[in-house]
Structure 1
Amino acid sequence: MSFSPNRLLARLNIDPYLLLLVGTVGLASVLPAKGVWAGIAGGVADVGIALLFFLHGAKLSREAIIDGAKAWKLHLTTMSLTFVLFPLLGLGVQAIPGLDPTLTMGVLFLTLLPSTVQSSIAFTAIAGGNVAAAVCSASFSNLAGIFVTPLLTALLITGKQGGAFSTDPVIAIATQLLLPFLAGHFLRPWIGAFVHRNKKVLGYVDRGSILLVVYTAFGAAVLEGLWGRVTLGELGLIAVISLAILAVVMVASSLIGKAMGFSREDRIVLLFCGSKKSLATGVPLAGVLFAPAQVGAVILPLMFFHQIQLMVCAILARRFAAEAEAEGAVEAA
């Protein structure tokens, strides 16, 4: 049998894209963009972010929004996990002594982000959950995140740094992210089919934009002495904190789902959509909401959490799928 790197990564539950992110961080650490090149890279990254959100808007179906509104109890419960329980846990982490303040801020920031879309839907499908509800719930979360995440960030992070609530992040989001998103959505009747046909190619645009933002962010942070401030012990602690936050949210989602009387299929949606945080949304938002020298450290916890959530959810999805298959076999016997 021939050796396949992709097969090995899949067996280890490692997202190949994470390796690209790590490689980008390494490149930025060794060869950060300086001077005029930093300005050029930053400008291209801004264009990439606008294009990314334009494509997000073009992908969002108005019919999905209307259909999804019918399962409003499930969606509100998922949103409560995403934008209430997670931020409360993030605030609790602020009390942990010894962490670099920017990393602690990064942990809080990741708890303010919306859920993922693709992986939430994929894991729900593998586990035998309600895929239609997952599509709606994840889409609603990302749509709400454009408004809610900047407001929470201004209230809990950037506003506090300045001593008062700041509207600057809200204005920045409105002009740099929301307008491209709305433009893409309203142009969907004309460009939606093209986006759907070329979603694989356009996916490279999404990921390439994020890699460029990571490169510019970490380059600026490295020039400001990031790796002189952050220790390996702190990085290990961030991984432990990420795993602990994920575990608390998953247990809470299971208990809440049963208490609300949701079906097994809907409880799976609540678990996978309610416990995720979006790297694709978080990196561009961080680039808009924070100073260039802060962004690299701010998104470090998000990168840790992203991989941990993928590994844990992959294991759980396969377990649920095996349980459903076993139950089906028993019923058929």
Structure 2
Amino acid sequence: MRLLSKFYLDGFILSILAMVVLASIFPARGDAAEVVSWLTKIAIGLLFLLYGTRLAPQEAIAGLKHWRLHLTVLACTFVMFPLLGLAARVLVPHILTADLYTGVLFLCLVPSTVQSSIAFTSIAKGNVAGAIVSATVSNLLGVFLTPALVILLMNTTGQARVDPSAVVDIVVQLLVPFLLGQLIRPKVKGFLARYAEPTKLVDRGSILLVVYSAFSAGMVEGIWHAMSPWRILALAVVCCVILAVVIAATGFLGEALTFDRADRIVVVFCGSKKSLATGLPMATVLFAGHQAGLIVLPLMMFHQIQLITCAALAQRWARTAPSA
């Protein structure tokens, strides 16, 4: 156990890896995939309900007012990432194929995740209110900014359209449960304070469902078998390098802009993540007529890598957090 702890391979990380193995052997198909999808939505709704009950209203309002933090996250998501995506063009054709490079650039243009960014911020004892606002704003703006960046930076055969359902999903799954949690907070805050452990299970359980659902989708689509092992390995290395650069850069930015520890955690987790849930539907519209499976493969791979990496970081920061 000490050896596992040294390399941050605790139970949470092992659980994520177990979900990847489970999805590889028994991917959710047909009705089972529908059940997993609904369970994931319910878990996310419950997660944000609990966030609403745990955050004092003044903390939520402070999160809304923290404009420096939100602008920093947006700059990382929609400026730094796209620049890295453009720089990756030098890897074609020797390391990346043209379709894979298109996918790498596309992953750099999609918005940040919401649920996992906030969950990891909570696990690491960061500024949860700031993470909720930053990640939500990133996703809402991404519905408009991502298609615009795709049109500006790459060619598509389909006409880019904004899907209103993305906004509806954010409101119904995230904002409504959060506001409901704020309303019932006075009645349940004492109970939740006495039983804090179950809320941690919801944090981690929602992440595990996201991992299983996303990896299952990739297995069902068969996109992991669409390339040679060499190309898959090369793509994995590229995704790891991009993530490492962004995590280092966001960490540096947090320090340079004199954010406190809680806000630096938000910058790293919200500024370094990319949303599979938002990116996949957009790709089906923006790349009509292309090999969409290969184009979304970098995003799917990056999504798995970012979850495992950020889980390790969150657990590490949780252990080193100052006592309340």
Q: TM-score range by the shorter chain?
A: 0.7 to 0.9
Structure 1 residues 256 and 44 mapped into 2: Cα distance closer, same or farther (>3 Å)?
closer
- 1:287, distance to aligned residue in structure 2 (A): 3.6
Code of the aligned partner of 2:239: I
What one-letter code is carried by the residue in structure 1 that aligns with 2:198? V
Question: Shift of residue 188 of structure 1?
Answer: 0.9
Residue range with higher mean Cα deviation, 82-91 or 10-19: 10-19
Q: CA deviation at 1:301?
A: 1.8
Alignment of 1:277-288 (within 5 A): 277=270, 286-287=276-277
Q: Is 1:274 aligned to 2:271, yes or no?
A: no
Structure 1: distance between partners of 2:312 and 2:183: 36
Letter in 1 for 2:268: S
User: Could you say which residue in structure 2 is the equivalent of 1:118?
Assistant: 122
| Secondary structure, counterpart of 2:161 in structure 1 | coil
Instruction: State the match for 2:205 in structure 1.
Output: 208
Confirm or deny: 8 A CA contact 2:73 2:134 kept in the other structure.
Answer: no
Aligned counterparts of 1:220 and 1:309: Cα–Cα separation in 2? 21
Query: Residues 55 and 286 from structure 1, CA distance in 2 versus in 1: closer, same or farther, beyond 3 angstroms?
Result: farther
Equivalent of 1:178 in 169, 175, 192: 175
Matched-pair contact (CA < 8 Å) for 2:53–2:184: yes
Of all paired residues, the percent bearing the same amino acid is 23
Q: 1:94 corresponds to which letter in structure 2?
A: G
Q: Does 1:89 align with 2:84?
A: no
What aligned pairs does 1:1-333 form with structure 2 within 5 A after superposition? 5=1, 7-14=2-9, 16-65=11-60, 75-95=66-86, 96-97=88-89, 98=96, 99=100, 101-102=102-103, 104-109=105-110, 111=112, 116-121=120-125, 135=127, 138-157=128-147, 162-229=159-226, 231-257=232-258, 266-277=259-270, 286-287=276-277, 290-291=280-281, 298=299, 300-308=301-309
Partner Cα separation in structure 2 for residue 320 and residue 43 of structure 1: 34
Kept after mapping to 2: 8 A contact 1:155/1:166: no
1:200 CA displacement = 0.8
Higher-Rg member (1/2)? 1
Distance 1:157 1:170, change over 3 A: same
Relative to structure 1, the CA distance from residue 62 to residue 14 in structure 2 (aligned partners, 3 Å threshold; closer, same or farther) is same
1:122-161: per-residue Cα shift (whole Å, max 9, x none)? xxxxxxxxxxxx54xx422313422432322442159957
What is the aligned-residue RMSD (CA, Å)? 3.7
Q: Quick one: distance in 2 between partners of 1:288 and 1:180?
A: 19
Deviations 1:173-207 (A, max 9, x none): 11222212211221111122222222212221232
- The residue type paired with residue 200 of structure 2 is G
Deviation at 1:309, TM superposition (A): 5.2
* Alpha-carbon distance in structure 2 between the residues aligned to 1:111 and 1:157: 15
Q: 1: distance between equivalents of 2:102 and 2:242?
A: 15
CA contact (8 A) 1:55 1:181 kept: yes
User: Per the alignment, do residues 101 and 19 of structure 1 end up closer, same or farther by CA in structure 2, a change over 3 Å counting?
Assistant: farther
1:215: how far off?
1.5
Using the alignment, how far apart are the partners of 2:37 and 2:315 within structure 1? 35
Deviation at 1:22, TM superposition (A): 1.9
Once residues 179 and 242 of structure 2 are traced to their aligned partners in structure 1, the CA distance between those partners, rounded to angstroms, is 36
**Contact 1:242 1:305 survives alignment (8 Å):** yes
Counterpart amino acid of 2:224?
Answer: W
In structure 2, the CA distance between the partners of 1:194 and 1:188, relative to structure 1 (3 Å rule), is same
Aligned to 2:289: none
Listed one character per residue, the Cα deviations across residues 201-225 of structure 1 (whole Å, up to 9, x for unaligned) are: 2221232232123212221221112
Distance 2:16 2:145 in 1: 29
3-state SS of paired residue (1:94): helix
- The answer to whether the Cα contact below 8 Å between 1:239 and 1:301 also exists between their aligned partners in 2 is yes
CA distance in 2, matches of 1:56, 1:319: 22
1:120, distance to aligned residue in structure 2 (A): 4.5
- Matched to 1:150, the amino acid is L
Unaligned 5+ segments in structure 2 are 90-95, 151-157, 285-291
Q: Supply the distance in 2 between the matched residues of 1:50 and 1:82 (Cα, whole angstroms).
A: 24
Shift of 1:319: 10
Map Cα deviations across residues 243-274 of structure 1 (whole Å, 9 max, x no partner): 111222233333333xxxxxxxx554554332
- Equivalent pairs counted in the alignment come to 287
Distance 2:210 2:319 in 1: 33
Deviation at 1:170, TM superposition (A): 0.8
3-state SS of 1:168 partner = helix
